[in-house]
Amino acid sequence: MIQIEKLRKTYRARGRTVTAVDGVDLRVREGEIFGVLGRSGAGKSTLLRCVNLLERPDSGRVVVDGRDLSTLSGAQLRAARQRIGMIHQHFGLLSSRTVAGNVAFPLEVMGVPRRERARRVAELLELVGLAEHAGAYPAQISGGQKQRVGIARALAGRPRVLLSDEATSALDPQTTGSILELLRGLNRELGLTILLITHEMEVVKRICDAAAIMRDGRLTESGPLAELLTRPGSELAAGLFPLPESGAVRPGTTVADVTFVGEAADRPFVSTLARTYAVDVNILGGAVEQVGDLRVGRLRIELPGDPDANAAQLAHLREAGLTVEVHGRDTALEGTS
Ligand SMILES: Nc1ncnc2c1ncn2[C@@H]1O[C@H](COP(=O)(O)OP(=O)(O)OP(=O)(O)O)[C@@H](O)[C@H]1O
């Protein structure tokens, strides 16, 4: 749905060139919620603004819904942009207009006739749960409600893609939760593809299907969460599902972290391992969590004997589709899947 290829964007500021986006490749599939996570200054906003060409990239390609936006002329580009909604951290509402007036604004710009506009505004406010506040002004509603207005306004042109620029950063945790739920619901009900940028791991954990980390204009890691969670050494996986501090490995034992995602979580691999190899499996810790749509579990196990002596046992776990990371004697993780 969104294909970004070799995207580069630099700014000239005070005689200096800043490379905000430095050769980014990214693919967001139709119906997916994709999160780009990064610190302030990483280049996230610039990347997002290149997707609807609010910023013109220096080079590279952005294809949205099959159209390469950089090849479009003014009028075509404006039409294409109407199919790409955008929401912002500070909502960007017009203070002199009511809630309904704010949602009506893009429809006026599109030249939608008055009666149809009124019908569509009512429908949009219903969709975001604000029907009762149609006549209120932005100053009279809460931050969460303001973002709901922002979302309704972004959906006015029936976009297939929604870009979210830190949409929940100005909101408290509870309100953040309700806005994320709304976005998840819209994604499912309308098949809306969402590309969001955030500095909060929690946002990725709550609603994303796939994610990337951005640092100094580049994506250092990227992929579906199910894949990242089982990728040894993944920074996103460590953030999404932090492991407890590992203690010292006792001599003559093997300590391993076993990660299981989705279906693999339902298989009794510990008892199978113990039975197959007549080995005592000691469970040192573990947790099961919900990450996006996925059930993910991690178990730290201890086996008698060093890792060489347990090669067959570890291979057995990997063959069962589990990710296994073996702790080194100095407790640093050294294993790979
Ligand atoms: N209009 C501009 N002119 C000059 N430099 C800019 C401009 N916009 C962004 N930059 C620079 O580009 C880099 C990336 O900025 P960007 O806003 O994309 O990052 P970000 O990850 O979204 O951070 P934040 O969350 O703080 O906005 C930064 O070094 C920033 O100072």
Closest ligand 1 atom to residue 42 Cα is 21
Q: E strand or H helix at 148, and its extent? A: helix 143-154
Best of 10, 21, 45 for a ligand 1 pocket test (most atoms within 8 Å of beta carbon): 45
* Of 209, 235, 261, the domain-final residue: 235
Q: Are 213 and 290 contained in the same domain?
A: no
Q: Are 140 and 230 contained in the same domain?
A: yes
Q: Is 56 exposed, middle or buried (0-12, 13-18, 19+ CB in 10 A)?
A: exposed
300 C-alpha vs ligand 1 centroid, how far in Å?
41
Q: Which residues pair with 325 in a beta bridge?
A: 257
Q: Are 252 and 219 contained in the same domain?
A: no
42 C-alpha vs ligand 1 centroid, how far in Å?
7
Q: Are 41 and 162 contained in the same domain?
A: yes
103 C-alpha vs ligand 1 centroid, how far in Å?
29
Q: Are 265 and 216 contained in the same domain?
A: no
* Of 191, 209, 235, the domain-final residue: 235
Q: What is the mean pLDDT of residues 239-251?
A: 77
Q: Kindly indicate the confidence band of residue 179, based on its pLDDT and cuts at 50, 70 and 90.
A: very high
Tell whether ligand 1 has an atom less than 6 A from the beta carbon of residue 42.
yes
160: nearest Cα among 51, 21, 19? 51
Q: What is the mean pLDDT of residues 279-297?
A: 84
Residue 97 lies inside a defined structural domain of this protein? yes
Please indicate whether residue 75 or residue 20 has the higher confidence score (pLDDT). Answer: 20
pLDDT of 245 over the 80 cut: no
24: nearest Cα among 38, 15, 16? 38
Q: Are 253 and 202 contained in the same domain?
A: no
Tell whether ligand 1 has an atom less than 6 A from the beta carbon of residue 46.
yes
Q: Are 40 and 176 contained in the same domain?
A: yes
Residue 334 lies inside a defined structural domain of this protein? no
pLDDT value at residue 329: 57
pLDDT value at residue 262: 76
The CATH number assigned to the domain holding 113 equals 3.40.50.300
Tell whether ligand 1 has an atom less than 6 A from the beta carbon of residue 297.
no
Domain count, the chain: 2
Shortest-distance Cα residue to atom 14 of ligand 1: 43
The Cα–Cα gap between 195 and 56 comes to 18
Domain that holds residue 293: 241-326
Cβ atoms 223, 29 nearer than 8 A = no
Q: E strand or H helix at 204, and its extent? A: helix 201-207
* Of 235, 260, 294, the domain-final residue: 235
The CATH number assigned to the domain holding 254 equals 3.30.70.260
pLDDT of 333 over the 70 cut: no
Could you report the predicted ipTM of this complex, rounded to two decimals?
0.95
pLDDT of 11 over the 60 cut: yes
Who's near 92: CB < 8 A, 6+ residues apart?
150
Q: Flag the least confident range among 46-55, 111-120, 248-257, 323-332.
A: 323-332
pLDDT of 143 over the 90 cut: yes
pLDDT per position as a tens digit, 112-129:
999 999 999 999 999 999
Tell whether ligand 1 has an atom less than 6 A from the beta carbon of residue 44.
yes
pLDDT per position as a tens digit, 53-102:
889 999 999 999 888 988 888 888 888 888 899 999 999 999 999 999 99
The two three-digit tokens of residue 182, written as one number: 């709304």
pLDDT per position as a tens digit, 194-224:
999 999 999 999 999 999 999 999 999 999 9
Cβ atoms 186, 167 nearer than 8 A = no
pLDDT value at residue 320: 86
Q: What is the mean pLDDT of residues 124-146?
A: 95
Q: What is the mean pLDDT of residues 155-178?
A: 94
The Cα–Cα gap between 266 and 231 comes to 20
Cβ atoms 309, 315 nearer than 8 A = no
pLDDT of 331 over the 50 cut: no
Q: Is the dihedral of CA 188, 108, 45, 98 positive or negative?
A: negative
Q: Kindly indicate the confidence band of residue 244, based on its pLDDT and cuts at 50, 70 and 90.
A: low
Residue 333 lies inside a defined structural domain of this protein? no
Q: Are 201 and 300 contained in the same domain?
A: no
pLDDT value at residue 330: 47
Q: Are 132 and 206 contained in the same domain?
A: yes
Residue 182 lies inside a defined structural domain of this protein? yes
187 C-alpha vs ligand 1 centroid, how far in Å?
28
Tell whether ligand 1 has an atom less than 6 A from the beta carbon of residue 45.
yes
